[in-house]
Structure 1
Amino acid sequence: MPDDALGLGLAPVAPPIATATPYRVLARKYRPQNFAELIGQDAMVQTLGNAIKRDRLAHAFLMTGVRGVGKTSTARLIAKALNCIGPDGQGGPTIDPCGKCEPCTAIAEGRHIDVIEMDAASHTGVDDVREIIEAVRYAAVSARYKIYIIDEVHMLSKNAFNALLKTLEEPPAHVKFLFATTEVNKVPITVLSRCQRFDLKRISVEKLTTHFAEVCGKEGVMADGEALALVAQAAEGSVRDGLSILDQAIAHADLDGDGVVSAAQVRSMLGLSDRSAVRRLFGLLLAGEAQAVLEEAKRQYRLGVEPAATLAGLLREVHLVTLAKIGSPHDATLPEDAREQIDGWADKLSFPVLHRLWQLLLKGHDEVARASLPLESCDMALLRVLHGASMPDPGELARLLQNGPVPTPVATAPQISGESSASTVSTSALPASFAALVAHLDKSGFVNLAATMHDVMRVVAHAPPALRYQLAGPVHQGFLTELREALFRATGERWDVEEAEGDAQPTLLELERLQEAQANREILESPLVKAALDAFPDAEVSVEGRLISPDRQAEVRSLRA
């Protein structure tokens, strides 16, 4: 038969060309199919497991949490758990659905007739809820339970919520309601009181990094640990957001030809600042290098880092330094050299300076975020931080107004308190003795610090401007840092102060007590006083209004012995 057998002049139709399976994004491909794959929600899984084992299932569940933590996925898993019949068809509700039976596979594919999903964002009215109310009267077609999953339930109108209340409170035994929302505060309390609520947590950076590494292994993709940590941080606790970013990072790496997801590529893709560059910029701020600060900020801008991201990176550094100062463990993603640098800053910077840096950077970040000239606004914010952080705090201003200024370094550039200048004027008259140093600090307004030194500090070596000591009692958090800062402010010199081993002198308080005991001993051993005490053993001796009680007398005698 000719090709145009029908006389229509038409060529035979070629068979369709087979097409490859369309690509599924990672966020859909790795959606959890069982509770074991649901990361970071162990408490909820345990509660559900216990409820299923004890047959104490609620008729309505409400899952709330930020985007991408698994609210809708959890609702589908609950639907599987309640309707699973096992591979042999004889199973009952279980926290470990088989994933192979018809209900499990149908629910996973979104085609089960008895598991109805509704997006409340597009079905907000009372008519949509009325359809549900009418349908719940009928038993499930093939499943154990008829399940209604309503996503973003807070989007329902007030009338829709009111229409649902009665059915929600007393639904038929074969019906379960599963609600998911990101804004639980918008759900009426009358609805909340009828549901068993689960607050799904943000996923930690560590767990996200581990999960993304497993995904990369399954995908056959090589990725740096630092790159995955950056993706996890950018995800802000959301698995879905993180997988979307990872998808983009893998595509970005493929375009470069080597197929490796690197930290530099992720930073470039997300417009993030290199953490080492942020630390370099932070160090320049502390050193008061105004021109170098602006040049480094501009270099980051040319690399594609947004000015707001630069300031956000500096805020994170201040936060890390503050945490290090109070003794918190370091971020596990930080390299060793970064930890040492942060520890050094924590040792040098006082809490008032760190709090002031935070406030100035936070104000600058807010200004840059809404500025029409972001780079210029960033420059001005950084200069304000550089100059403003070195200003005295209100307590120091009050001391200056009361006692007048003390010798301070003369710097070639504005200095942030806590960092020494390259050019200083040394003071010639440093306190020659430890007692004189304590008295000088007391007169300079550092009363509490001087009292602590007086009571608990035992001097190993005093060679101004160096001081080695041991402690005879507890001191407050940050004592050493505060002492160095006070010595600098009171004397104009940077002191080398640290604890040391070796022979130490008694504290000033201990010396005073020894001197007092010696004076008491001399009094008590005078012939007249001894005769009086022998005649009246329980008598109390008073010297210039200072009482020497019998107990004190015994103490003196023991010291004499």
Structure 2
Amino acid sequence: MSYVVLARKYRPRSFEEMVGQDHVVRALTHALEQQRLHHAYLFTGTRGIGKTTVSRILAKSLNCTGPDGQGGITARPCGVCSACREIDADRYIDYVELDAASNRSIDEIRELIERAAYKPSVGRFKVFMIDEAHQLTKDAFNALLKTLEEPPDYLKFVLATTDPEKMLPTVLSRCLQFNLRPMAPQTVAEHLARVLEAEQVQADAGALRQLSRAARGSMRDALSLTDQAIAFGGGQLEESAVRAMLGAVDRRHAERLVQSLSERDGRAVIDECEALRAQGLSAAGTLDEMARLLQQMAVAQAVANGLDETDPDTEAARRLHSALAPDETQLLYSICLQGRAELSLAPDEYAGLVMTLLRFMAFPAMSADAAPPVGSGGRTAAAPLLAKRAEHRSVAVPTSAAPAARPQAAAPVTQAAARPVSSASPASVPVAAPRAASPVAPPEVPTAAPSAAAPNTAPANLPEAAPTIAPAAQPAMSRPVAAPPVMAAPAPAPVVAARPQPSAPARASAPDDGPPPWMDEAPFEADVLPVAASAASQRIERPVEPEAEPEHFAPAAPVERRAAAADRLAAIEVMRTPLGDRWAALTTQLTGSGAIAALARELAMQAELIAIEAQGGAEVWQLRVERETLRSTGLVDKLQTAVRGVLGAAVSLAVSPGVAQDSPARRDAEFAARRQFDAEQTIQQDPLVRAMLSQFNTARIVSGSIKPV
């Protein structure tokens, strides 16, 4: 007799023999005992966990006649009657198994429906089992729906699938669904021990643990691997042989890697990876073993005595759980899982393993103690990760970057006044509502000695806040502004919104409680080309000195803002040339007629005509273009063809690299900036806006909210 593999030889033949699916066994057993039978069942779950086995046992339970031939529907089929024996041998005429992976079309389903019209030949029920049912076509599903919803009394449907998400909702609603779960390694190991005892094969506990983990919840895979391990080990199972067969990595390698990473010892990590390469051990298996160890470490960190002390693999986790902080353990665990998926993308798997482990070392250690640098075997002195994240989020500019001609701050300013306001956009400013004052008077703080360049000093009783700072590239502003640049309503009609204020004595005795929430919003982007944006993107910050009387605020602020806007406009002013006028007019004509589009149009807009030369009866126009991608031969040829078509003359275009000073794009940017400047001046000089700014000492104009019309 030929050898029968363990997965087939030890397939359960009754509900009592099934392991790991107690929830399904219990439901089906009670339904059979109470004769509460559904007409369609759907079993879902991964491969090798018992879907087909449950279907066969259910078919035997429905058709079992007992040893004496007088039995009825039962939850415990006898296994000796003709129905039980023939179903186990897969030759029972009233039990049909259809593999939908290879019989998925509507023709096979029509044939099945035709067979459903006839009563059982020898049994009590006809049972149609469709395996991998999610692979049926949509037409096949639709053809089955009516019969599946209202089958004859003698017909039962059993559907099995590994992917229930691909099943039609109309099919799911007609079935009683049971989800078979992957089995725990301990359950698999216990069943393997019983099978090997029946087979009289010697096996140690370590080998069974390796096989049960490699099965990943599938009992059929576990039995298949056991067959392979018996052949590999010559009739016995030893942990070392099973580990070699599976390509699994010894726990000691994972221990050494975790220990080295906890110490930030880069040399030890590299040496261990080289040792793994020399032994031919799998990089993926290394990350799997590390992830398993880190999971146990996390349990030991979160729950005292949470690990199984009888499991020898948990000893390393109990010993190493204090080597890493809990958040570092979680971080390294996530890195191992992510790196496991990225190994196929690396040049080779060992390079991927090294980069995965070094990724963890790129994060600072959670200890603030002084230590040697990374790679020397000790921890790195670094702030906690949360502090580092906060540091990255903050905006810090060295105070030494302030221009030398700028006056020194006479005293700390309020936090609301010291908040930096971006001038990245040439847009500028409607008036925003100030905050109400608090009845509590601020504490007094000492004032700094003013410099000679600053004739005025701020009051000494302002709340403490960080001083304002400015980039070195920004021109110096020697005159302080009474309040920070603020923002405004869209042009042309200025819209002013202000919150009612208390009386003047109440405001004088209370500090400002900070800017309104909308001051933290990002400024609007200017609708100009990068040339204009880069010239206007520098921040402008000035020391702010609140005045004792609100009416002193109005005269100084508009003058200061007008000067800043004029500086921005002068920075992008184009030096026009006759050749530039000619090229701009030609570009407008080409664009308006649709002769150029896309990148060819962009080339014309970014180009500057610098010379026209006569060569052999034809003109050669010299263009200067900064972007290399626009200087490609194909784009130049397209633009040249369009120019010849408009001019009706033989014109050749020669393109050279360089920054264009008088291009159509720069002219458009200048025009947009000038319109923006005029709109800003209209708002800033509006009498209503100036009256509001003078009346409310904390009013602000929203940067970027003014748009020309």
Report TM bin, short chain: 0.5 to 0.7
Task: Name the structure 1 match of 2:362.
Answer: 388
**Cα distance between partner residues in 2 of 1:305 and 1:325:** 29
Which of 150, 173, 193 is the aligned partner of 2:173?
Answer: 193
**5 Å matches for 1:169-184?**
169-184=149-164
* Count of residue correspondences: 383
How far has the Cα of 1:282 moved from its partner?
A: 1.6
SS at match of 2:160: strand
Task: Name the structure 2 match of 1:365.
Answer: 340
Does 1:374 pair with 2:354?
A: no
- Shift of the 196–332 alpha-carbon distance from structure 1 to 2, 3 Å rule, reads farther
Q: Which runs of 5+ in 2 are unaligned?
A: 382-386, 389-709
- Shift of the 332–127 alpha-carbon distance from structure 1 to 2, 3 Å rule, reads farther
- Shift of the 32–332 alpha-carbon distance from structure 1 to 2, 3 Å rule, reads farther
How far has the Cα of 1:308 moved from its partner?
A: 1.9
| Matched AA of 1:236 | R
Task: Name the structure 2 match of 1:342.
Answer: 317
Q: Is the CA contact 1:27–1:243 (under 8 Å) kept in the aligned structure 2?
A: yes
Q: Is the CA contact 2:62–2:124 (under 8 Å) kept in the aligned structure 1?
A: yes
- Shift of the 71–332 alpha-carbon distance from structure 1 to 2, 3 Å rule, reads farther
**Cα distance between partner residues in 2 of 1:348 and 1:281:** 12
Q: Is the CA contact 2:266–2:358 (under 8 Å) kept in the aligned structure 1?
A: yes
Which of 30, 35, 43 is the aligned partner of 1:63?
Answer: 43
**5 Å matches for 1:152-551?**
152-254=132-234, 259-327=235-303, 329-331=306-308, 334-335=311-312, 339-385=314-360, 387-391=361-365, 408-411=369-372, 413-414=374-375
How far has the Cα of 1:412 moved from its partner?
A: 6.1
TM-score w.r.t. the length of structure 1 is 0.65
**Cα distance between partner residues in 2 of 1:63 and 1:366:** 30
Task: Name the structure 2 match of 1:428.
Answer: none
**Cα distance between partner residues in 2 of 1:412 and 1:129:** 69
**Cα distance between partner residues in 2 of 1:72 and 1:365:** 32
Q: Is the CA contact 1:357–1:389 (under 8 Å) kept in the aligned structure 2?
A: no
How far has the Cα of 1:137 moved from its partner?
A: 1.4
Q: Is the CA contact 2:297–2:321 (under 8 Å) kept in the aligned structure 1?
A: yes
- C-alpha offsets along residues 4-50 of structure 1, whole Å, 9 cap, x if unaligned? xxxxxxxxxxxxxxxxx111111111111111111111111111111
SS at match of 2:41: strand
How far has the Cα of 1:239 moved from its partner?
A: 0.5
- C-alpha offsets along residues 268-317 of structure 1, whole Å, 9 cap, x if unaligned? 11111001221122212223332332222222233332112212222222
Which structure dedicates a bigger proportion of its chain to helix? 1
**Cα distance between partner residues in 2 of 1:391 and 1:147:** 63
Does 1:44 pair with 2:24?
A: yes
**Cα distance between partner residues in 1 of 2:94 and 2:262:** 64
| Matched AA of 2:317 | I
How far has the Cα of 1:193 moved from its partner?
A: 1.0
| Matched AA of 2:370 | P
**Cα distance between partner residues in 2 of 1:80 and 1:349:** 55
TM-align CA RMSD: 2.4
**Cα distance between partner residues in 1 of 2:358 and 2:150:** 64
Q: Which runs of 5+ in 1 are unaligned?
A: 1-20, 397-405, 425-443, 446-561
Task: Name the structure 2 match of 1:26.
Answer: 6
How far has the Cα of 1:65 moved from its partner?
A: 0.5
Q: Identify which of structures 1 and 2 has the higher relative contact order when contacts are C-alpha pairs closer than 8 Å and 6+ apart.
A: 2
Q: Is the CA contact 1:226–1:333 (under 8 Å) kept in the aligned structure 2?
A: no
**Cα distance between partner residues in 2 of 1:249 and 1:36:** 28
Q: Is the CA contact 1:390–1:414 (under 8 Å) kept in the aligned structure 2?
A: no
| Matched AA of 1:410 | A
SS at match of 1:347: coil
- C-alpha offsets along residues 247-267 of structure 1, whole Å, 9 cap, x if unaligned? 11110000xxxx321111111
- Shift of the 363–79 alpha-carbon distance from structure 1 to 2, 3 Å rule, reads closer
Does 1:92 pair with 2:72?
A: yes
SS at match of 2:124: coil
Does 1:150 pair with 2:127?
A: no
Task: Name the structure 1 match of 2:477.
Answer: none
Q: Is the CA contact 1:84–1:91 (under 8 Å) kept in the aligned structure 2?
A: yes
Q: Is the CA contact 2:365–2:379 (under 8 Å) kept in the aligned structure 1?
A: no
- Shift of the 348–272 alpha-carbon distance from structure 1 to 2, 3 Å rule, reads closer
Q: Is the CA contact 2:59–2:127 (under 8 Å) kept in the aligned structure 1?
A: yes
Deviates more, 1:320-329 or 1:123-132: 320-329
Q: Is the CA contact 2:126–2:155 (under 8 Å) kept in the aligned structure 1?
A: yes
Q: Is the CA contact 2:262–2:324 (under 8 Å) kept in the aligned structure 1?
A: no
Larger Rg: 2
SS at match of 1:141: coil
- Shift of the 100–332 alpha-carbon distance from structure 1 to 2, 3 Å rule, reads farther
Does 1:82 pair with 2:62?
A: yes
- C-alpha offsets along residues 99-150 of structure 1, whole Å, 9 cap, x if unaligned? 0000000000011111111111111111111111111111101100011111
| Matched AA of 1:126 | I
Deviates more, 1:169-178 or 1:290-299: 290-299
Does 1:141 pair with 2:121?
A: yes
Q: Is the CA contact 1:286–1:415 (under 8 Å) kept in the aligned structure 2?
A: no
Deviates more, 1:43-52 or 1:281-290: 281-290
Percent sequence identity over aligned pairs: 40
